[in-house]
Structure 1
Amino acid sequence: MPSITFQGIGSGLEVGSIVEAIVNAEKTPYESRLSYKESVTTADISAAGSLKSALEAVEEALAGIADVDKYQQRTVSGADDFISITSNSDASVGAYDIKVDSLAAAHKLVSEEIQSEEAVGEGTLSFSSGDNVFTINVSDTETLSEIRDKINDSTDNESINATIITDDNGQRLVFSSRETGVENAITVTVDDLGDSNHTDTLGLSRLASTNLTEATAAVDAQITIDNTVTISSSTNKFDNVIDGIDITVKKVQGVDDTDSRVSVKEDNSNIEKSLTEFVTAYNKLVDLNTNFGQVGDGNSGVMIGDSLLRGVMTKIRNEFTASFDFGSDKTMTLSELGVRSDQYGKMSIDSEDLNEFINNNVDNVQQLLVGTDSKPGFAASMTNILDFYTASDGIIQSRIDSREQSLLKIDDERAAFTRKMDSLEARLYAQYNSMDLLVAGLNSTSSYLMAQLDNMPGVVSSSN
C-alpha cells in the first residue's frame, strides 16, 4: 500500500474509500471461499483423527482378547506361614497337602584359632563346592587374612565366601558355600609343603576339611505331598513339582502343625473382562459413527456420506457375523457366545450365555476368539481389518496427510492473493492520484483563464 495518498485534493473525490471498496469487492468473496475451504479441510482432519483414535482403542481392546495367557488360567490358594506358591495354566484342578520337612541350608566350616600375625603354612589349598573346583597357592609368610583375601579374590572361585571371626584366642577362618543344599557342600584338601603331612593339625594342614568344624551342615529342602511323595531340592524352591505349580518353602512344620493345603481352581474371569473392554471401546466407536454420519437440518455430521466411515463400519459389522469353523461341521459365532448387538448397532454381553459356553468348552471359546496356528480367530481377523485403516501408512493417515497438504496450499493461495490485492490497491491509488492531479491542473487553468477574461477591456463581469 502506498505510504502517501491524495484524498481528492483536486477532484474532491474520496479516493481512499473508492479504492478500499474496489479492493474489497474482489477480496471478500475470494477470502470467504478460502476460509470455507480451510474450515472444511480442518474439520475433515479432526474427524479423521477422531475416527483413527476410536479404531485404535478398539484394536487395543482386541489385543486383550488375543492374549492367550488370559485363557484357562488357574487360581491357586494355600499360601501360609510355611509355603508360598505360584502357578500357570498348566496346573491341574485339584487339591494337595504339603508338609515342609526341612529347609535348605548352606554349608559352613570353621577353622581352629590362629594368631593374626602367624604365618599359617606353605602349600596349596584346593576347594570344591558343587561343580566349582579351584586352587590357591599359599606362601610360607601369609597370614589367615591374606589367605582369606586370596580365596575371595580368586577368579576361579564361584562358590565359596571366606570370612574371619576374631575372638579372645585368635582368628578363625570361616568357609561358607554360596549355594544351599547337600550337593554344594564344601571340601578343602591341602598340599602341605611344610611337613608333607596334609592332614595333621600343624601348618597349612589345619585348614583341611578333616580339621575344620562344621558350623552348619549342608541340607536339602524336603517336602512331602499328600503324605506319600517325598521330594528334595538343593534350594527352598520346588519348581513344577506339581504340574504348573511352583512351591517355595519358608518354615518347617512341626508335629503339631497342620499340613499346608494347596487348592487349584479354574479361573476364566479374564475372558469376560477382556470382552467387556472390547465392547466398551466398540460402543464408543458406534457413538462416534452416529455423530459423524447423522443427517439433520443444519445439524449434519462432519462425515455424512463419507465412504471412509461407511466402509470401515461395514467391514467391522460383517466380522461380527462371521463364524469360526472347528471342523466336523461345528461352527460358532460371537452372537452364540453371548456378544450381541441391539437395533442401534451397540454391543452387549449376555454373561449367562458366555459363562455357560466357557464352563462347557473353554477350548472352543479360546479358538473362536484367539484362533489356532492354522486359522485366525475373531481378534486377529478384526485386527487385520483395522490395521488397514490405523497403520502409520494406512488409509486414514494418508487422508490426514493429504488434507494437511491442502491446508498448506490454502496458505500459499492466501499469501499469493494478498500480494495481488496489495498490487491492485497500489495501482488504483496511482491511477486515482494521477487523475486527481490532472483535475487539479485543469481547475487551476480554468481559474487563470477566468481571471484574464475578467481583466480584459470591455468585458463585463457577470457578477456586475
Structure 2
Amino acid sequence: MAISFTGLGSGLAVSDIVDALVNAEQAPAEARLNTTEGKLTTDISAVGALKAALEKVQTSMEALGDNDNYQQRNTSGSDSFISISSDKEAQPGSYNVKVDALAQAHKLSSPAFAADEAIGAGVITIGSGANSFSTVLSATNTLEDLRDQINNGPFTGSDSNDSVIATIVTSDTGQHLVLTSKETGEDNAITITVQDGDGNNTDTGGLSRLAYDVSDADPANHTTNLTQVNAAQNAQITIDGTLTVSSNTNEFTNVIDGVDITAKKLHATDDDLSDISVTENNNNIKTGLNSFITSYNELLELSNNLGASGEGGAGVMAGDSLLRGVMSKLRSEITNPVDLGNGNSLSLSQLGVETDRYGVLTLNTETLDEQIDADVNLVQQFFVGDDDDGFAQSFDEKLSFYTDSDGIIQNRIDSKTNQLDDIDDQRVSLASKMESLSSRLYAQYNAMDLLVASLNNTSSYVQAQLENMPGVVRDNS
C-alpha cells in the first residue's frame, strides 16, 4: 500500500502534489524524446538493411568482373593410367594417350666389401644431371666413410651434392654401396670417375672398383665396375597413336596446348587407351547473373516494403529521396546498353536479363546461351572491359557511392547515431531539471506548511485567551 505524506501544518498531501506537478512537466518532454528516439532508431535500422541489401547486389556482380573466370576449360580423361589438368590456353578437342614407359631413377650397386675393409685412397667424382661433386678418400677409409662423405661431405672446393643418395645394403657376401639419383630420367644418369692411388682409374683394384662411366658413345670406353640395378629411364607417351613424347619425369607439361599430363601406369597391350576431352566452360556467366538476379530481387522486395505508401500503411522510408535515388540508378544501369566499340553494344537485357511490370528480374537462359555461342569474347568485354573498366566495375563504383564506409548511407547512419547520443544527453539534463523542480516545490510547500502551522498555533492561542476572559460564558453542555 502506497504511503502518502501530509503537511504537518496544512494537512495537505504534499508529496502527491509535488509528484503530480513534476510529472506534468516531465511527461510531455519524455514523450517527445521517446518519439524522436523511435524515429531515429527506425531510420537507422531501415537504411542499415538497405545498405546490406545493396552490398549483396554489389558482391554478386564482382565475380562477373573477374577476367580469370571466363572461358575456363573442362577436361576429362584422368584414370588409373594418367592424370590431367588444363588452363585457358587449352583448345577444345579430344585425344587418346598411351603410356609407353614411366620415368625411373638411376640406381647402381657396388661389389661386396668387408665392413672394415679399406676401399682405397684417391679422389672420387660423382655426377648426375647438371650436378657434379668430388670427395677425397684416405688409405684407411671404408665403404661407410664414403657413404657418409657422399651424403654429408666434405667435398672438394665449392662442390655440393644435390643429386645422389648413398646407402649401404649388407648381403650375405658383404657391404654394397648403393647410389640412387634424386631425379628421374636419362639426363640424370649417374657417372663415377676416380683418381686412384695406383694410377689405374678403371681397373677392379683399389678405389677404381667404384668407377662407372658409360657417357662415351663408344662402348669400348665404358667403365662398369658397379652393377646397374635400375637404368636411368625417361617416361614416354604416345598421343593419337602417332606422336611420341618423352620426359625426364612422369610429367608432360603443355605437350598439348594448355594441357598437362602425368603418367601413372603403363598401358598393357590389351588396355584401353586413355581418352582426353577438352571443352569450353562459360558457366560463370550464367552463375553470376543468377546470383545477381537473386540479390537484386531481394533488394527490390525490401525497397517496396520500405517505400510502401497506400491503404496498407506507409513504409518507414516512404517518400525518402535516398531510397528513390538508389533504386532509380539501379534500374537505369540494368536497362542501359554499353558501347563496346566497333559498332557493338550490349546490355543486361540483351544477355537475357528480363524485367516484368513489377520490376522483378528473371534470366532467359536461351537468350544468354545464344549470345555466348555467338561471341563469348564480346560478353566478356561487356562485363570486364579492356582494362577492368567494364560493366561490373562501373556498377561497383556506382553502388560504392552508397555502400562505402564513407558513403552516403553510412554518413546518414552516423548522423542519426549522433542524434541518439544527443537524446541520451537530453534525458540526463531532463532528469536533473526535474530533480531541481521537485526540490524547489518541496521547499515552497514546506515553507507554506510552516506558515500554516504558525497561524494555526496563533489561532489556538487567541481562542484560548478569549475563552479565559471574565464574563465569557462557557458552553459546558
The residue number in structure 2 matching 1:331 is 345
Task: Tell me the equivalent position of 1:441.
Answer: 454
Paired with 1:101 and 1:26, the residues of 2 have a C-alpha distance of 99
| 2:379 is equivalent to residue 380 of structure 1 | no
Match of 2:177 in 1: 173
Match of residue 199 from structure 1: 202
Give the structure 2 partner of residue 99 of structure 1: 98
User: Larger deviation: 177-186 or 163-172?
Assistant: 163-172
Selected match of 2:304 from 287, 290, 293:
290
Cα deviation per residue 1:236-291 (whole Å; 9 max; x = unaligned)?
11111111111111111122223222122222223211111111111111111111
Asked if structure 2 preserves the Cα contact closer than 8 Å seen for 1:110 and 1:172, the reply is yes
What one-letter code is carried by the residue in structure 2 that aligns with 1:398? N
Q: How many residues align?
A: 458
Which residue type is aligned with residue 414 of structure 2? Answer: D
Q: Decide whether the 8 Å contact of 1:81 with 1:250 is kept in 2.
A: yes
1:426 matched residue in structure 2: 439
Structure 1 position 16, deviation (Å): 0.8
Q: Matches of 2:17 and 2:80 in 1, distance apart? A: 97
User: Distance between the aligned counterparts of 1:360 and 1:281, measured in 2?
Assistant: 28
Q: Which runs of 5+ in 1 are unaligned?
A: none
Equivalent AA in structure 1 for residue 183 of structure 2: E
Distance 2:139 2:449 in 1: 122
Paired letter, 1:285? L
Structure-2 residue corresponding to 1:147: 146
Distance (Å, rounded) in 1 between the aligned partners of 2:171 and 2:422? 89
TM-score (norm 2): 0.91
Structure 1 residues 412, 138: closer, same or farther in 2, change over 3 A? farther
Deviation at 1:338, TM superposition (A): 0.8
Q: Distance in 2 between matches of 1:231 and 1:348?
A: 50
Quick one: which amino acid aligns to residue 104 of structure 1? A
Cα distance 1:425–1:262, how it changes in 2: closer, same or farther (>3 A)?
A: same
Say whether residues 1:303 and 2:317 are aligned partners.
yes
Structure 2 residue matching 1:100: 3-state secondary structure: strand
* Contact residue 6 and residue 433 of structure 1 kept, 8 A: no
- Give a deviation string over 1:397-451, Cα, whole Å, max 9, x none: 2222222211111111111111111121122112212221221122122112211
What's the offset of the Cα at 1:298?
A: 6.9
Picking from 258, 266, 269, the partner of 1:244 is: 258
Q: Contact 2:67–2:384 at 8 Å: present in 1 too?
A: yes
Q: Confirm or deny that 1:10 pairs with 2:9.
A: yes
Q: Is the 8 A contact 1:188 1:208 kept in 2?
A: yes
Question: Identity over aligned residues, as a percent?
Answer: 54
Letter in 1 for 2:349: S
Does structure 2 retain, via aligned residues, the 8 Å contact 1:114–1:172? yes
Distance 1:261 1:30, change over 3 A: same
1:352 aligns with one of 338, 345, 366: 366
Spell out, residue by residue over 1:338-390, the C-alpha distance to the aligned partner (whole angstroms, 9 max, x if none): 111111111110011111111121111111222222x7322111111111111
What aligned pairs does 1:38-53 form with structure 2 within 5 A after superposition?
38-53=37-52
- For residue 103 of structure 2, give the secondary structure of its aligned residue in structure 1: coil
Q: 1:163 aligns with which of 162, 167, 171?
A: 167
| CA deviation vs aligned residue, 1:79-124 (integer Å, no higher than 9, x gap) | 2221111112221111112121111111111112222233333333
Residue among 225, 230, 254 paired with 2:244: 230
C-alpha distance 13-119 of structure 1, shift in aligned 2 (>3 A)? farther
Give the whole-Å Cα distance in 2 for the aligned partners of 1:95 and 1:165.
Answer: 48
Q: Is it true that 1:182 corresponds to 2:186 in the alignment?
A: yes
Q: Alignment partner for residue 385 of structure 2, among 363, 366, 371? A: 371
Say which SS state the counterpart of residue 458 (structure 1) adopts: coil
- Aligned-partner Cα distance in 1 for 2:142–2:451: 120
For residues 326 and 395 of structure 2, what CA distance do their matches in structure 1 show?
A: 11
Matched, 1:71 2:70: yes
Is the deviation greater in 339-348 or in 250-259?
Answer: 250-259
Give the counterpart of 2:268 among 254, 264, 267: 254
Per the TM alignment, residue 181 of structure 1 is displaced from its structure 2 partner at its CA by 0.9
How far off is 1:297 after superposition?
4.6
SS in 2 for 1:257: coil
Equivalence for 1:457:
470
Q: CA deviation at 1:463?
A: 6.7
Q: Residue 57 of structure 1 aligns to a residue in which SS?
A: helix
Q: 1:401 to 1:122 in 2, by over 3 A?
A: farther
Distance 2:120 2:322 in 1: 89
Match of 1:269 among 283, 286, 305: 283
Q: Aligned in 2, Cα 1:417/1:136: closer, same or farther, shift over 3 Å?
A: farther
Q: Aligned letter for 1:417? A: L
Over 3 Å counting, the alpha-carbon distance change for 1:378 and 1:448 in structure 2 is same
List, as ranges, runs of 4+ consecutive aligned residues in structure 1 with deviation greater than 6 Å: none
Is the 8 Å Cα contact of residues 119 and 143 (structure 2) preserved in structure 1? yes
Q: 1:454 offset after TM fit, Å? A: 1.2
Write the letter of the residue equivalent to 1:178.
K
CA contact (8 A) 2:5 2:13 kept: no
Q: Answer with 205-214 or 222-231: which moved more.
A: 205-214
Q: For the aligned residues, what is the CA RMSD?
A: 2.0
The one-letter code of the counterpart of 1:207 is L
Query: 1:121, 1:140 within 8 Å by CA — same for their partners in 2?
Result: yes
Counterparts of 1:149 and 1:282, CA distance in 2: 70
Matches of 1:453 and 1:137, distance apart in 2? 144
| Separation in 2, partners of 1:308, 1:290 | 13
Distance 1:228 1:418, change over 3 A: same
Distance 1:121 1:306, change over 3 A: farther
Query: 1:405: which partner in 2?
Result: 418
Provide the C-alpha distance between the structure 1 equivalents of 2:412 and 2:114, rounded to a whole number of angstroms: 86
Quick one: which amino acid aligns to residue 191 of structure 1?
Answer: Q
How far off is 1:6 after superposition? 5.9
Question: 2:116, 2:424 → 1: CA distance?
Answer: 90
